[in-house]
């Protein structure tokens, strides 16, 4: 059964790669993100390394970008293209630090290995296989930004990508409901072939007697982070789905993704969900303020205001009629957010972050290399792995990308949506990020913004 689904993936990947347009690759790219526990090459053939589907699809997209002379020229000149040059220099620094730091500081700096270790146990820095695997993943993410920056300059590819986001959200919902159904029906034979990764899979964890929904991701926090990413992007990009007949499906997608975030019972996802709610309100006020100045936002505020008003009224009526309905929600939120600091996992993750921060200090700000240490905070993971110089280049790139200006009215709406939708994902990265890799979903968003930028 395992080899069957692996062969099916490779068949779909090669079929999409050889097709005339990017539709297949883009749809597979987004849908594969829901299969984070699925190793598409048997781990026994890779020395235990779990190569999941999305990085493989990303590599195929990179090769599609390199297929043309223009694409190869674009990649060669990335070091001179603003703001991509900041990302290029970040990658160069990350590679150099990863090559030399583990040997320079061997047995001198305490770190938390990326591989599984005993509870709250630090070790001395050593060159390891994790250095190679993590810099490889980071390289794929960086080059995916370059690939999308080139490919998404074409309007037809951008439209395909927007549809791909929708279907990626459908995949999150589908795998989430499959995992939910596994509590009530014997369908493990359907799920187990997609859970063949060698790293620890926390797919049976419970809270308050209920299973934490993980979909086909390694754990609830990664499923919650993926759900909030698709929820945020789908919501803020909803105005770009032009066909009025398609809009109801988009709103259904948003509602079900919201449910997936809640079912994940991930404290980081809950915090990000609160940030998302605030951003929704701020964005509505912002659209109302600029609607008189830009025809792009005219008559786009009223439906959202009505929907939010009806939701609030409905919740208030439910609370007045049956207040005890909300008791399980209060208890769950209290345990997963307010009492989170009392859990062993919280203490252990704080320990990871403290040790990784000290590793940065002990390495004189150079860093210990990608895969050198694990933190439970994306910012600390990035700085401790690639050093202060690498972090300056990365956050400089993020700032310049955030301030990009569009080259069309359509582009203005997408870049605006990017600014709003990136923040909830950034929150989950800060709260649970363990490596310097910013991830392929964010890599797509960066590439999309450059494809719409005025500075080509």
Give the number of other Cβ atoms within 10 Å of residue 172's Cβ. 28
| Residues 450 and 74: beta-carbon distance below 8 Å | no
Most trustworthy range by pLDDT among 107-116, 203-212, 395-404, 412-421: 395-404
Task: Give pLDDT, residue 307.
Answer: 67
pLDDT 10s digits, 258-285: 989 888 888 778 888 888 988 888 887 7
Please report which confidence band the pLDDT of residue 329 belongs to, taking 50, 70 and 90 as the band edges.
low
Model-level pTM?
0.87
The percentage of residues in the chain with a pLDDT greater than 90, rounded to a whole number, is 32
The answer to whether residue 311 scores a pLDDT higher than 80 is no
- pLDDT bin (cut points 50, 70, 90) of residue 205 is low
Which pLDDT value is given to residue 192? 85
Nearest-angstrom CA–CA distance, 153 and 444: 13
Q: pLDDT grade, residue 384 (50/70/90)?
A: very high
Residue 195 has a pLDDT of 84
Phi-psi region of 136 (alpha: psi -120 to 50; beta: other; left: phi over 0): alpha
Q: Report the pLDDT value the prediction gives residue 164, as an integer from 0 to 100.
A: 93
What is the reported pLDDT for 213? 85
Looking at residue 128, its pLDDT comes to: 86
Note the pLDDT tens digit of each residue in 5-14.
889 999 999 9
Give CA separation, 167 vs 21, 30, 125, 174, 227, in Å. 17, 7, 42, 10, 13
Mean per-residue pLDDT, 215-222: 86
The answer on pLDDT for 348 being more than 70 is yes
Residue 229: its pLDDT value, please?
93
pLDDT at res. 334: 56
Q: Taking a C-beta distance cutoff of 8 angstroms, is the pair 265, 295 a contact?
A: no
Residue 227 has pLDDT above 90, yes or no: yes
Tell me the average pLDDT of the chain. 83
Q: Rounded distance, CA 79 to CA 436, Å?
A: 21
More confidently predicted of 36 and 291:
36
Percent of the chain surpassing pLDDT 70: 82
Cβ contact 263:443 at 8 Å: no
> pLDDT-based confidence at 28, cuts 50/70/90?
very high
Mean pLDDT along residues 405-421: 79
Higher-pLDDT residue of 173 and 295 is: 173
- Please report the pLDDT score of residue 194 as a whole number: 86
pLDDT digits (tens, 9 = 90+) for 52-99: 899 999 999 999 999 889 989 999 888 888 889 999 999 999 999 999
- Name the band, by pLDDT with cuts 50, 70 and 90, for residue 200: low
Instruction: State residue 440's pLDDT score.
Output: 94
Residue 448 pLDDT greater than 70, yes or no: yes
Say if residue 438's pLDDT is above 60. Answer: yes
**In the prediction, which pLDDT does 332 show?**
55
Q: For residue 244, what pLDDT is reported? A: 59
Q: How far apart (Å, rounded) are the C-alpha atoms in residues 199 and 306? A: 46
Please compute the mean of the pLDDT values over residues 13-30 and round it to a whole number.
93
Determine the pLDDT at residue 275: 87
Which has more confidence, 395 or 419?
A: 395
236 or 408, which is more confident: 236
User: 154 near 26, Cβ under 8 Å?
Assistant: no
């Amino acid at each position: 059964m395992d080899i069957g689904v692996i062969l099916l993936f490779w068949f779909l990947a090669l079929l999409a790669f050889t097709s005339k347009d990017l539709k297949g690759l883009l749809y597979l790219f987004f849908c594969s993100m829901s299969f984070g526990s699925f190793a598409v090459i048997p781990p026994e053939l890779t020395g235990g390394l779990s190569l999941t589907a999305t990085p493989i699809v990303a590599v195929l997209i990179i090769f599609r970008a390199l297929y043309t002379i223009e694409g190869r020229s674009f990649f060669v000149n990335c070091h001179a293209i603003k703001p991509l040059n900041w990302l290029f220099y970040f990658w160069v620094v990350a590679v150099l630090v990863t090559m030399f730091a583990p040997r320079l500081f061997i047995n001198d700096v305490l770190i938390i290995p990326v591989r599984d270790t005993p509870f709250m146990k630090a070790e001395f820095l050593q060159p390891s296989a994790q250095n190679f695997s993590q810099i490889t993943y980071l390289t794929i993410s960086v080059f995916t930004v370059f690939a999308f920056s080139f490919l998404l300059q074409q309007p037809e590819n951008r439209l395909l990508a927007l549809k791909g986001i929708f279907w990626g959200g459908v995949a999150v919902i589908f795998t989430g409901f499959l995992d939910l159904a596994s509590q009530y029906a014997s369908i493990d034979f359907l799920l187990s072939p997609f859970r063949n990764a060698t790293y620890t899979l926390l797919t049976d964890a419970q809270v308050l007697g209920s299973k934490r929904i993980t979909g086909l991701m390694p754990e609830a926090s990664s499923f919650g982070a993926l759900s909030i990413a698709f929820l945020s992007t789908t919501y803020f990009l909803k105005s770009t789905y032009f066909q009025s007949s398609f809009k109801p499906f988009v709103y259904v997608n948003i509602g079900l993704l919201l449910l997936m975030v809640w079912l994940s019972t991930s404290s980081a996802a809950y915090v990000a969900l609160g940030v998302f709610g605030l951003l929704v309100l701020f964005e509505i006020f912002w659209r109302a303020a600029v609607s008189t100045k830009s025809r792009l936002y005219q008559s786009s505020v009223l439906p959202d205001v009505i929907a939010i008003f009806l939701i609030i009224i409905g919740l208030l009526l439910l609370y007045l009629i049956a207040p005890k309905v909300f008791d399980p929600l209060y208890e769950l939120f209290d345990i997963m957010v307010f009492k989170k600091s009392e859990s062993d996992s919280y203490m252990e993750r704080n320990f990871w972050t403290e040790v990784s921060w000290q590793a940065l200090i002990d390495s004189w700000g150079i860093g210990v290399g990608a895969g050198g240490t694990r933190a439970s905070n994306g910012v600390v993971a990035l700085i401790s792995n690639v050093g202060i110089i690498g972090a300056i280049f990365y956050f400089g790139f993020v700032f310049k990308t955030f301030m990009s200006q569009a080259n069309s009215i359509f582009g203005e709406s997408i870049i605006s949506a990017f600014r709003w939708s990136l923040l909830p994902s950034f929150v989950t990265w800060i709260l649970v990020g363990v490596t310097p890799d910013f991830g392929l979903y964010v890599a797509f968003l960066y590439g999309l913004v450059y494809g719409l930028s005025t500075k080509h």
